[in-house]
Structure 1
Amino acid sequence: MSSQVIDDLYFSASALKTYDTCQLKFKRRYIDGLFWPDDWIKDKEKRKLQEQGNLFHMLAERYYFRGKIVDSKDIISEEMITWLERLTNFRPYNKQDQFLPEHKLQLNNGDLKLMAKYDLLHFSEAGRVVIYDWKTHATNSKVNYLKRSLQTVVYRYLLCKAGGDYAPEGSWQPKDITLVYWNPRFPDDEKVLFYNQERYLRDERKIKRMISDIKQVSFRADDDVLATSEEKNCLYCEYRPICHGEPALEIEPKEEDLDLTEDWDDIEAISF
């Protein structure tokens, strides 16, 4: 049963990162299907930060879908109004280009199955595409961390591999793709990551190697997989009550984990 689940699984950046962090956590989440409820954060301040991030993503989606801000200022906070003003100044909508907010993409290429949901894809008249990813954490992400992150690896590679329907010539060259991380708390500090053929090939090898490694693991029982050796990962893990019978110190999900409850059946598969 576990091998069939793995064969059918479309790997996201979050799934690959979870496996890289702890094989047992990967089993709990993706094999056993133990998704934590939406109210898993108990700390009021951390819950507020999560809700702010979710709201900003929703309002940004509406802006690029409709081409204008339509939400009444009477029902959103002053801080959120400021964030939206910064967003429209940073990446203003225009009718000449194509904007696809909260766009889902899936690749089915034999043993290589990938999926991602992009906060925004911006296709310009010049035949280039920019991936925008909104960050709302109170701390500003370091560019070196973002360069190495599996989110960066999967997002750029998947679009290059499976996003050809949106390319003027029917396929993208890595040099045509740029990934921009932006946080409305730090509006003047966007992180711009360009792409190239060498990076594309390295990303492909990395993704294929990770998926191959995962498929070599038997997930039939907890004893078949390796738990994390990093104490901090374990102490703060939402599955600590199952593994150790002890509550986690405080569960604080990463931003890339906030889309775990999506209905993946809505994603259009692209086969090669």
Structure 2
Amino acid sequence: MAINNLEELYFSQSALAIFNNCRRRFRYRYLDGLYWPAEWGMNEEVKNDLKQGRQFHLLAERYYSQTLGETVLNSNSLLQSWLNRLKTFSAAENVVSAEQELRFKEDNLKLLAKYDLLKYDSSLKKFIIYDWKTDKKSLYQKDIKNSMQSRFYLYLLYEAGYDYFAADYELEQMPELIYWNPRYPDQSLQIKYNQDDFQTDKKYFQELITEILAEVEFPLTADLNKCRFCEYRPICRGEKTENKELIEEDLDLNLDWEAVEEIEF
């Protein structure tokens, strides 16, 4: 859906990453409403990976919301193994919320995030963010620590979430973020946060959004390699989009749960 002007838009980490990657792509998607489903341009194997990822996120949400019960996934042994690994990795204890949406508005800063899982560490008096990845790349193969998602999630939770939950939780230390992938159950990636990080990120996001709101031309990226897998390549370059890989950082996997197919139990 197109919006009338950028001042109406709540910026997600994906929107900010897309703007940094290609301003024309940002315009097509968020201003012009030229939206393609995530599956567009993917081969069947990658589409299946995406479907499994969405179903796993749904299972995780139900497990931590205690609406799953002791269901056995007779029809999908892979998802059952992923769910068992999840339960071993992080039990449904000290849960604040699963699929928690958080919005923040201050002057021209309008931000939106949806967290896979929030937990409360009572001994350290802080929140822990958990984010699930299901793509085939190991966490150690990615530069996640300094990614837009990591910076955005930690910043927004501390900026807005700590006030939002202040009446229910005693929060003295800054949040941390843990990534985990059921394909690699013995791996997890923990990212700490401090006041210097927060101040740096606050300035960064304020400046970035000011830049977006002032943009008029929304030019094409000069890096043709970025165009190879872009859904708008036929419009911009007159060339067919190449088959895309599943890169979860570029997908809003959790924003449209009504579109997720039910899992056959």
TM interval, short-chain normalised: 0.7 to 0.9
Equivalent in the alignment of 1:88: 87
Post-superposition CA distance 1:101-137 (Å, at most 9, x none): 1111000111111110001011233322100000111
Structure 1 position 3, deviation (Å): 9.6
Counterparts in 2 of 1:31 and 1:199: CA distance versus 1, 3 Å: same
Pairwise mapping of residues 100-139 of structure 1 onto structure 2 (< 5 A)? 100-126=97-123, 127-139=125-137
Q: 2:183 aligned to 182, 185, 197, which one?
A: 185
Equivalent in the alignment of 1:63: 63
Gaps of 5+ in 2: 257-265
Gaps of 5+ in 1: 219-223, 264-272
Post-superposition CA distance 1:72-110 (Å, at most 9, x none): 3213x222111111111110012xx23311111000111
Contact 2:64–2:95, Cα closer than 8 Å, also in 1: no
CA distance in 2, matches of 1:82, 1:3: 42
> How many corresponding residue pairs?
254
Counterparts in 2 of 1:257 and 1:44: CA distance versus 1, 3 Å: same
Identity, % of aligned pairs? 37
CA distance in 1, matches of 2:71, 2:112: 30
Structure 1 position 71, deviation (Å): 3.1
Equivalent in the alignment of 2:261: none
Following TM superposition, the consecutive aligned residue runs of length 4 or more in structure 1 with deviations greater than 2 angstroms are: 67-73, 124-127, 141-144, 167-173, 251-254, 256-263
Equivalent in the alignment of 1:229: 222
Counterparts in 2 of 1:243 and 1:171: CA distance versus 1, 3 Å: farther
Structure showing the higher helix proportion among its residues = 1
Pairwise mapping of residues 1-272 of structure 1 onto structure 2 (< 5 A)? 5-66=5-66, 69-75=69-75, 77-94=76-93, 97-126=94-123, 127-142=125-140, 145-163=143-161, 164-167=163-166, 175-218=173-216, 224-252=217-245, 254-259=247-252, 262=255
Counterparts in 2 of 1:102 and 1:91: CA distance versus 1, 3 Å: same
TM-score, normalization: structure 2? 0.87
- Residue identity opposite 2:34 in structure 1: L
TM-score, normalization: structure 1? 0.85
CA distance in 2, matches of 1:206, 1:144: 22
Contact 1:101–1:118, Cα closer than 8 Å, also in 2: yes
Counterparts in 2 of 1:39 and 1:149: CA distance versus 1, 3 Å: closer
Please state whether the residue corresponding to 1:115 is helix, strand or coil: strand
- Residue identity opposite 1:241 in structure 2: P
Please state whether the residue corresponding to 1:211 is helix, strand or coil: helix
CA distance in 1, matches of 2:129, 2:245: 26
CA distance in 1, matches of 2:45, 2:3: 40
CA distance in 2, matches of 1:23, 1:261: 24
CA distance in 1, matches of 2:207, 2:109: 10
